[in-house]
Structure 1
Amino acid sequence: MRSATPSVPRSRPWDVRRPPSAEGRNVLVTGGNAGIGYFVAEQLAAAGATVVLGSRDAAKATAALDSLRTRVPGARAWHLPLDLADLPSLEAAVAGLALDRLDAVVHNAGVALDHPPRRETADGHELMFATQHLGHFALTRWLGPLLSAAPAGRVVTVGSYAARSERLEVDDLQSRRDYRPARAYGRSKLAQMSFGFALDRHLRATGSTVLSVVAHPGGALDGLTPARPPVHTPTPGERLRALPAGVLVQGKEAGAWPIVRAVLDPEVAGGDLWGPRVFGLRGVPRREPVPPHMADRAVAARLWTASAELTGTDPRLGFR
Structure 2
Amino acid sequence: MDKTFLITGGNAGIGYFVAERLAGTGATVVLGSRDPAKATAAMTAIRARVPGARVRHLQLDLADLPSLEAVAGERFDAVVCNAGVLLDGPERRETGDGHELMFGTNHLGHFALVRWLLPSMPEDGRVVTTGSFTAKSVEPDFDDLQSTRDYRAKRTYSRSKLAQMLFGFELDRRLRAAGSGVRSVVCHPGGALDSLTPSRPPVRVRSTGERLRGLPAGLLLQGKHAGARTAVHAVLDPAVSGGDLWGPRMFGLRGAPVREEVRGVLADREAAARLWAAGVELAGVEPLCHIGLTHGVISMTNREEGL
Q: 2:57 aligns with which of 53, 73, 79?
A: 79
Residue 146 (structure 1) shift: 1.5
2:45 aligned with 1:67: yes
How far, CA to CA, are the matches of 1:63 and 1:298 in structure 2? 43
How far, CA to CA, are the matches of 1:287 and 1:317 in structure 2? 30
- Per the normalisation by structure 2, the TM-score is 0.93
How far, CA to CA, are the matches of 1:170 and 1:63 in structure 2? 40
Answer whether contact 2:32 2:60 (CA < 8 A) is retained. yes
How far, CA to CA, are the matches of 2:235 and 2:200 in structure 1? 23
How far, CA to CA, are the matches of 2:190 and 2:235 in structure 1? 17
2:111 aligned with 1:137: yes
Answer whether contact 2:245 2:262 (CA < 8 A) is retained. yes
Structure 2 counterpart of 1:202:
174
How far, CA to CA, are the matches of 2:123 and 2:287 in structure 1? 23
2:156 aligned with 1:184: yes
- The residue identity in structure 2 corresponding to 1:36 is I
How far, CA to CA, are the matches of 2:207 and 2:48 in structure 1? 21
Answer whether contact 1:305 1:315 (CA < 8 A) is retained. no
Structure 1 counterpart of 2:137:
165
Residue 50 (structure 1) shift: 0.5
2:23 aligned with 1:45: yes
The count of residues paired between Structure 1 and Structure 2 equals 292
Secondary structure of 1:186's counterpart equals: helix
Answer whether contact 2:71 2:116 (CA < 8 A) is retained. no
How far, CA to CA, are the matches of 1:269 and 1:73 in structure 2? 32
- Per the normalisation by structure 1, the TM-score is 0.90
Residue correspondence of structure 1 range 136-285 to structure 2 within 5 A? 136-147=110-121, 150-285=122-257
Per-residue deviation, residues 13-32 of structure 1 (Å, max 9, x unmatched): xxxxxxxxxx0011000000
- The residue identity in structure 2 corresponding to 1:63 is A
Structure 1 counterpart of 2:95:
121
Residue 295 (structure 1) shift: 2.0
Percent identity for Structure 1 against Structure 2: 67
Residue 176 (structure 1) shift: 0.7
Please say which of residues 76-85 and 234-243 is displaced more in the overlay. Answer: 234-243
2:80 aligned with 1:106: yes
Answer whether contact 1:86 1:121 (CA < 8 A) is retained. yes
Residue 172 (structure 1) shift: 1.0
- The residue identity in structure 2 corresponding to 1:188 is S
Answer whether contact 2:191 2:253 (CA < 8 A) is retained. yes
How far, CA to CA, are the matches of 1:237 and 1:309 in structure 2? 48
Per-residue deviation, residues 167-222 of structure 1 (Å, max 9, x unmatched): 01122110011000000000000000000000010000000010000011000011
- The residue identity in structure 1 corresponding to 2:253 is L
Residue 316 (structure 1) shift: 2.9
How far, CA to CA, are the matches of 1:28 and 1:64 in structure 2? 14
2:7 aligned with 1:35: no
Answer whether contact 1:140 1:317 (CA < 8 A) is retained. no
Secondary structure of 2:32's counterpart equals: strand
- The residue identity in structure 2 corresponding to 1:140 is V
Quote the RMSD (CA, aligned, Å).
1.0
Secondary structure of 1:201's counterpart equals: helix
Stretches of structure 2 lacking an aligned partner (at least 5 in a row): 296-307
How far, CA to CA, are the matches of 1:151 and 1:276 in structure 2? 28
How far, CA to CA, are the matches of 2:288 and 2:85 in structure 1? 27
How far, CA to CA, are the matches of 1:114 and 1:291 in structure 2? 28
Work out which structure has the larger RCO, using CA pairs closer than 8 Å and 6 or more positions apart in sequence.
1
How far, CA to CA, are the matches of 2:179 and 2:276 in structure 1? 19
Answer whether contact 1:304 1:315 (CA < 8 A) is retained. no
